[in-house]
Structure 1
């Protein structure tokens, strides 16, 4: 496991348990105690945790959000997708993140990247949990859209969001969805979320769907867009050959992370 992935995994474990010890992390990641201490010190410097004598405890308000944003099924798959997505980001870029558990994992992966400390990045998001998490990184400029909050997804929706997005430009946008198929494209369960996701993608030089394999082949209520808007889908290794073929034939490029 590389360092960025280990830092992300430490934060996820901390979110689940509330505290971790050096000995526990040494056993879990098969790393030296000195390496783990350096990892914890690095995360503490970014105010993502608070160091204790033998380990660390949670600090960020993001860890107090509902449990589905702290631990979820398919965590490994989402981490793999997040790692691949975060690797696409270049220091100094403007990055759009919609709401969702996969984009939340991308935010965690971005926060763990040491190389973003110098120039930083600008993150535009309509998800309050993502904004709270990245606000702990002083080198990140975090812009939150206005709007009405959905308690189910922590996403801001409505005309205030659209007014802000209309006046900005994004280098890359990562959009989480409830389903993506060759026939229907990307879709969500809520039409207001779909509208915001679509507009965020339209404001980006490159828009990317991030969806674990359980979303592939599914069609939700409100369509977000097809390959003309989202040339690339990042999913995980559990995607089947037939599912990939269906998406490829429809015009999508499919990257299976992991």
Structure 2
């Protein structure tokens, strides 16, 4: 990175430390000093802060990543793999017909999908009726779409998950049980051909699973860095989902493994 720390605010610096950690799974204080130009005291303080948030595990002289996929606050994740997520969002949008009812769970990939849908000319053209209906349990997505009167936005109830801005719990279930969606896009923290899709929180898993079940077509959306990763809570077996939209970082071997499980793979490019 070689950026002087004086040009970064604290949040940006913490995100940069996490990016460095993601490259190799472990990091030393000297790595942070060299890459970000900070003092040893600042580097150690940043590692302690991230450890307190359970985003890494401190070691003598540095830190290691968690053994399973962990849940970064949305503000840290927004820029990770952003080009791939935009490609995935465009591929997802291509599956959505004007007038459809779309389910969007939380997460940065779903947020990208909302942005692409909200910019489509056929959806944004003036109409006396809604040109798209979006059902979401994510407060940030609802706020993003609320400025677009052509899109009818339905928000589930629930308790706010502070890291992902998602609404979870039985109130969310009560709304989802009353609606049907044409297609739902389900973001995950990990997806494995044998284990299936997983997320970091069991409450999010419950809402996401129900959203998938209430849709005629349920598509997992995940950039290729999520493939082979296993997070804490499962969303069910792969046969419950219709397909996976990912980027061209997926390997032929991985594609074949998903095909063996009957899952359609759409590679966004």
Q: TM-score by structure 2 length?
A: 0.70
Q: Name the CA distance, whole Å, in 2 between partners of 1:66 and 1:101.
A: 7
Of 58, 74, 79, the residue aligned with 1:72 is 79
Of 91, 95, 115, the residue aligned with 2:102 is 95
Are residue 124 (structure 1) and residue 135 (structure 2) matched? yes
Aligned counterparts, 1:1-258, within 5 A: 67-68=75-76, 71-117=78-124, 118=127, 119-258=130-269
How far apart are 1:207 and its partner, in Å?
A: 0.4
In structure 2, stretches of 5+ residues that fail to align are 1-72
CA displacement, residues 147-179 of structure 1 (integer Å, 9 cap, x when unaligned): 000010000000000000011100100000011
- 8 Å CA contact 1:181–1:246 kept in 2: the answer is no
> What secondary structure sits across from 1:254 in the alignment?
strand
> What secondary structure sits across from 2:207 in the alignment?
helix
Partner residue in 1 for 2:12: none
CA displacement, residues 176-225 of structure 1 (integer Å, 9 cap, x when unaligned): 00111110111111110000000000000000000000001111111102
How far apart are 1:249 and its partner, in Å?
A: 1.1
Aligned length: 194
Q: Name the CA distance, whole Å, in 2 between partners of 1:67 and 1:167.
A: 32
Q: CA RMSD in A?
A: 1.6
Q: Name the CA distance, whole Å, in 2 between partners of 1:188 and 1:121.
A: 28
Q: Name the CA distance, whole Å, in 1 between partners of 2:239 and 2:260.
A: 13
How far apart are 1:66 and its partner, in Å?
A: 6.1
Q: Name the CA distance, whole Å, in 2 between partners of 1:66 and 1:200.
A: 21
Q: TM-score by structure 1 length?
A: 0.73
In structure 1, stretches of 5+ residues that fail to align are 1-64
- 8 Å CA contact 2:247–2:267 kept in 1: the answer is yes
How far apart are 1:87 and its partner, in Å?
A: 1.1
> What secondary structure sits across from 2:234 in the alignment?
strand
Which has the higher Rg, Structure 1 or Structure 2?
2
How far apart are 1:242 and its partner, in Å?
A: 1.3
Q: Name the CA distance, whole Å, in 1 between partners of 2:237 and 2:226.
A: 15
Partner residue in 1 for 2:21: none
Q: Name the CA distance, whole Å, in 1 between partners of 2:179 and 2:188.
A: 22
